[in-house]
Structure formats: structure tokens, C-alpha cells
Chain A
Amino acid sequence: MAALLLDENVSERLIDPLTVLDHDVVSVNALGHKGRVDAIILLIGADLRRIVVTHNRSHFQVLHEAWILWTLTWNTQQFRHAGIIVARSGPGTTISDIATGIDAGIRQETWPFDNRCLGWGYARGWFEVSIRT
């Protein structure tokens, strides 16, 4: 279904349930990219055409904004990242909840996820992370 790249702040336990749900999942650590900065993680996801899954909305929203605005400004929109999913992890949320939520969102959202940043939270469901200009 979808090719996903788990950021190093995401539990590796997400790999199995998402794989069972027919997604192709690999972690940053498994690819040998431990300790890379967030900007490089997004670049790796873009190169591999994998959606980055992270819990770090604070930093990845900024990266997403920069990517969109800069490629637009420099007329280099052909460089598209493969998508970002920021998943909230809160009290009462299980790994299974997150896997199911991500899967449901991927199936319901318009494909592909190129240049999109989507958020998911157990209470809120899916939402598009807007860009501030």
C-alpha cells in the first residue's frame, strides 16, 4: 500500500502491525541513518519515496513549510518530498491505535502524499497540517 519511513522517535513496534496492514515499513535506524538531523530524514524519505512517520510535529512542520515555500519561490517544484505523517502519542493511545489510525488515513486520503504533511491524533483523527505564509 504505502512506503513508510519511521523516524527514530517512533517505536519500532509500529513496523509489524503496519506491515500486516500491507504497508512497506522501514525505520531510519534499520537503514543505518541513526542520529541524522530531521532535515536529512525528510530528504532520505524524499529520495526513497517513503512517507516519513514521526511524533515530532514541532520540527517537521517547519521543515515542510520550508520545503514547500522554497521550492515554490525558486520554481523548483519538481523536487517533492514523499509526504510526512505526524502521529500524536498520548495517554491511553496504543501502538495498535496508531497503526490503525495511520492505515485508515492512508486509505482515505488522496494519493499520493507528495508534498503533504498530515497529522493524526486519536481524538482528532486526521488533519492537514497547514502552511503559514
Chain B
Amino acid sequence: MSQAQAIDTETVDELLAMVKRDPHRPGPAFARLVELERPVWAIIMHLQSFRGLEDAARASEADIADAANAYVVPRQAVRAAIAYYVKHRRSVDAFLLLNSESFDED
């Protein structure tokens, strides 16, 4: 492992430590930001919906700042949500799709 890779891994681990599973909702889709309590899925939804990102993992600093402002959290918390999303993309996307499609028809 190169020095750069070690630093990146450490950074990702630090970011992931800012996210916790929801003790009341089983499954990775419902993780929340530690102490801030904002759901990861809501921040990802914001990036996809209001910032128009097909892939929230590719958020720019402007996108991150916008989401941080919308949910009144530090930018690092948005980065943490994105890091979690990268690791659990399928689960978060599945919930977002399920929730979104529930609006289409009854």
C-alpha cells in the first residue's frame, strides 16, 4: 500500500465513523449522521434531486456546500454521507427508488 493509499483509506474510515446505523431501522439504507441525526438517504436525495447529480458520489465542493447548508450540517458531514453512500450504494438507492416510485401511483 502506498502512502497516498494509506492516507485515503484513513480519510474514508474517519468519514465512515461519522455515520451510524439507525438502531430503530434495520438495514444499511437508514444510516444517520452521528449526533447530527440527519439520514444519509436524505442528503443523497438532495444531491440527486436539487443538484441534479446522477451519481451523488461525484458531488463537487459546491454541491457539498449546498447540501450542508440545506441540512444545517458541516461540509465534512456531507462528505461522510457520500462516503457511506459509496459503500452502501445499492441499499440507499433501493430505498430512494422505492420511496420515489411510491408517489407515481397508488
Contacts and interface: CB of A to CB of B under 8 A. Distances in A.
Interface of A: 8-13, 29, 34-35, 37, 55-58, 61, 86, 88-95, 119, 121, 124, 127, 129-130
Q: At the interface, is chain A mostly helix, strand, loop or mixed?
A: loop
30 contacts: A8-B42, A9-B42, A9-B45, A11-B46, A11-B50, A12-B70, A12-B71, A12-B72, A13-B69, A29-B37, A34-B37, A35-B32, A35-B37, A55-B42, A55-B45, A57-B99, A57-B103, A58-B99, A86-B103, A89-B49, A89-B50, A90-B49, A90-B100, A91-B48, A91-B49, A95-B70, A121-B103, A127-B106, A129-B106, A130-B106
B52 interface: yes
Given A9-B39, A35-B32, A56 B99 contact: yes
Interface residues of B, number: 26
